[in-house]
């Protein structure tokens, strides 16, 4: 009995212990962003992932419509500054981006979207200004936030060798409006990293946004937007 007890105590002493990690809060996060939940988990030694903004990308394809659509351009809007946290064990994530950091019509992203024209620099600047001020009302609503409250395996679709197909239960807040969406994605888990990618469609009108329109609607932006994302998160904390 004493031998067994001694053996158990020895194993417990040798087991990996939680490694607390301290990370400074992100001063640029929106008010009410639940970063503190993740920081407390890190301080308690739990394994938490932080989004790597430099390795992540969000892209929105904006397409023209109306009977004079031939006179306009399709556009690509990108975020290279996605920030946030992932608690993989809880199936939870919280991310945000600043709308004033969005970039419009980068040549390589236009090519990837299949757009074979390129607006001039003045036109691009005008598009960005209209988007932020007239469409998104960014001075009043400066952020887009996304919350993931769980995931489940995708029930259908082709088998993938490059990851696990899942459905993310998300809530997206934009322009002061929150909408819940089931977003298909592919999840890849490697040592220390998570990577999730996918694409989906949302309508601007669902968020109280009126798509830009000129000439009585003869030239307009389509309501539906295609969003593509490739998000990488690095593990912090865990057991040492």
In this structure, which CATH number among 3.40.710.10, 2.60.40.2130, 3.30.950.10, 2.40.128.110 belongs to the domain 2-236? 2.40.128.110
In this structure, are residues 144 and 99 in contact, taking their beta carbons and an 8 Å threshold?
yes
Q: What is the mean pLDDT of residues 180-193?
A: 94
- pLDDT at residue 9 tops 50: no
In this structure, are residues 175 and 207 in contact, taking their beta carbons and an 8 Å threshold?
yes
pLDDT value at residue 195: 97
Among 7-16, 30-39, 102-111, 137-146, the range scoring the smallest mean pLDDT is 7-16
pLDDT value at residue 84: 98
Backbone angles phi, psi at 123, to 5 degrees: -65, -40
Q: What is the mean pLDDT of residues 129-147?
A: 96
Rg, the chain, Cα only:
22
- pLDDT at residue 151 tops 70: yes
Q: How many residues are there in the chain?
A: 240
Q: Is the dihedral of CA 120, 217, 112, 182 positive or negative?
A: positive
- Tens of pLDDT along 190-215? 988 999 999 999 999 999 999 876 66
Among 17-31, 50-64, 220-234, the range scoring the smallest mean pLDDT is 17-31
- Token pair for residue 93? 């994530």
Read off the pTM: 0.84
9-18, 31-40, 149-158, 212-221: range with highest mean pLDDT: 31-40
Q: What is the mean pLDDT of residues 122-139?
A: 94
Domain edges within the chain? 2-236
In this structure, are residues 203 and 225 in contact, taking their beta carbons and an 8 Å threshold?
yes
């Amino acid at each position: 009995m004493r031998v067994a007890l001694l053996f158990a105590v020895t194993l417990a002493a040798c087991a990996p212990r939680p490694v607390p990690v301290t990370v400074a809060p992100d001063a640029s996060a929106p008010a009410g962003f639940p970063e503190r939940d993740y920081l407390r988990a890190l301080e308690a030694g739990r394994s938490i992932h932080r989004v790597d903004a430099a390795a992540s990308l969000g892209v929105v394809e904006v397409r023209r419509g109306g009977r004079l659509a031939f006179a306009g351009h399709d556009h690509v809007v990108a975020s290279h500054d996605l920030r946030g946290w992932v608690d993989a064990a809880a199936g939870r994530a919280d991310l945000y981006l600043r709308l004033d950091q969005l970039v419009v019509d980068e040549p390589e992203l236009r090519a990837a979207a299949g757009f074979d024209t390129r607006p001039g620099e003045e036109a691009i600047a005008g598009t960005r200004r209209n988007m932020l001020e007239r469409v998104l009302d960014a001075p009043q609503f400066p952020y887009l936030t996304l919350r993931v409250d769980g995931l489940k395996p995708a029930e259908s679709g082709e088998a993938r060798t490059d990851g696990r197909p899942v459905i993310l239960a998300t809530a997206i807040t934009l322009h002061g409006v929150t909408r819940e969406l089931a977003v298909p994605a592919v999840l890849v888990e490697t040592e220390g990293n998570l990577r999730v990618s996918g694409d989906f469609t949302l309508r601007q009108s669902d968020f109280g946004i009126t798509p830009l329109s000129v000439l009585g609607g003869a030239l307009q932006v389509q309501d539906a937007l295609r969003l593509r994302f490739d998000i990488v998160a690095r593990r912090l904390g865990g057991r040492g």
